[in-house]
Each structure stands twice: as structure tokens, then as C-alpha cells.
Amino acid sequence: MLTPAFVIHSRPYRETSQLVEVFTQDSGRFTLVARGSRGPRSPLKGLLQPFTLLTIAWRGKGDLKNLTQVECPDHSLRLGGDRLFYGLYLNELVYYLLEAHTPFPEVFDAYARAIMALADGETPELPLRRFEFLLLQALGYAVDFEYTADDESPIEPTLLYGFERELGFVACERAPDPRTLFLGAHLLAFAEGRFDTPPLLQAAKRFSRLALQPYLGKRQLKSRELFLKRKASMQG
């Protein structure tokens, strides 16, 4: 049976093969061996590209199984310029944060929507923030955007709230780190899934970075490093 999948990462394996990290709709993230895929006459040559919705089949025992069939029902989605790095960022989140061999169908669907939105030219911050928020939910991290964590008071639009990761949001006019302060109106918008203004998108980005950091630990995201290098070279 063929299963929808995206290639998250690939690397050479032996003389003509590849180790391909895939993210599938039904079985989650795992590694497959694409035997002979780098050979000059391989039918897989050129198919195992990122940002392309594939349907695949595999077989084998143990953690490392063999890729046996690949079909490409849709054309490859081209991500150029900065959007390539945004796509790589999504791939790194999937690779580092989702447990292998665990289905995350809602994350798969959100990933597919985000890649499609990036390819269609949508403002990139919007699909990125939507994906990050849904990913946090899938990881089991739940924060209340409508009530304070200390006394369960309703969030007021005009007040400032400090973010404490282990608790949530508490009323706070100042904080040692201003990045942890959020306007109540922004939190209420997050509760509704709205990111429709530049200030909201900026606040959502700050929140996502704070909330995702413990999951990422000390890992340095390659996509972010490459993005900054590109910006520096363009300015230089």
C-alpha cells in the first residue's frame, strides 16, 4: 500500500544508495534505504527531492527498512530564495522534535499546507507560525492564552503578561527579559488562531521561539545559520 510522504533529509549511503529520512502521513518520521538511487539508470533518480508530496512503499524488519516504490503524483514545489530556508526550517523541526515511528497525521497535514503556502507565494511568516503553534500542541505543550496561570483571571487586551514556560502567562508590567512580555490582545488573538497583522506575527514568532527552545535544547538550526549567512552576503 502506498503512503503519502515527504523527504525531510537524505544523505549518500555506500556507493550508489541513499539514506532517506521521510515524514509519512500514517507512520510518522523514519529512515529508509533507497538502494541504487544514485545510480545513473535508477528510476528513483531525481524523485527523492524535498518539498515534494510523494507516495511510497517500503518493506523490511528493524529500524532501517528498504524503500521499494515511489510515485510522484504532483509536481515538485519549488522554494527559491529565502523560502528555501523557511522550508528547511520546517524540515529541521520535524526531524528534531517528532519522535521516530510515531504517527502525527495532524502535523503532516499542517506541514503539507505550510509547504504549499510557501510555494504559492503567501507571506511566509503566516504558515510558519501556524505550523509552530500546531507542532507545540502535538508535542503535548498546552498553554492557556485566555486566562492567567497564577489566579486564572481572564486575559485583558490592554495589559501586559509575562510568559513563564512551566506555568503560562501571568500579569506583569515588566520582566528581566522583555522578550517574555506579551500584550493581552495578542494572546487573545493566539487563542483564536489569528496572526493577521505584523505585530501579531512578531509576537507569535517570539512566543514560538521561547516555547520551542526547551525541545530544541542546544541544537543550532542549520537553516537559521544558512539564512543569516545569505543575508550577510547580500548586504556585503
Instruction: Note whether 207 and 66 are within 8 A (CB).
Output: no
Q: How far is CA 52 from CA 46, 49, 87, 116, in A?
A: 11, 6, 11, 10
Contacts of 177 (CB under 8 A, 6+ apart): none
Q: For the domain bounded by 3-71, which CATH number is listed?
A: 2.40.50.140
pLDDT score of 61: 82
Superfamily of domain 82-140+216-235: Recombination protein O, C-terminal domain (1.20.1440.120)
Q: pLDDT tens, position by position, for the chain (236 residues)?
A: 899 999 999 999 998 999 999 999 999 999 999 999 998 888 887 889 899 999 999 999 877 899 999 998 766 677 888 899 999 999 999 999 999 999 999 999 999 999 999 998 888 999 999 999 999 999 999 899 999 998 899 999 999 999 998 889 999 877 778 899 999 999 999 999 999 899 999 999 999 999 999 999 988 888 888 877 776 676 66
Instruction: Note whether 164 and 149 are within 8 A (CB).
Output: yes
pLDDT score of 176: 72
- Delimit the domains of the chain by residue range: 3-71, 82-140+216-235
pLDDT score of 143: 92
pLDDT score of 121: 83
| Angle between helix 198-216 and helix 125-138 axes, rounded to 10 deg | 40
Residues, the chain, total?
236
pLDDT score of 75: 63
Instruction: Note whether 223 and 88 are within 8 A (CB).
Output: yes
pLDDT score of 76: 65
Q: Would the CA dihedral through 200, 186, 225, 117 be positive or negative?
A: negative
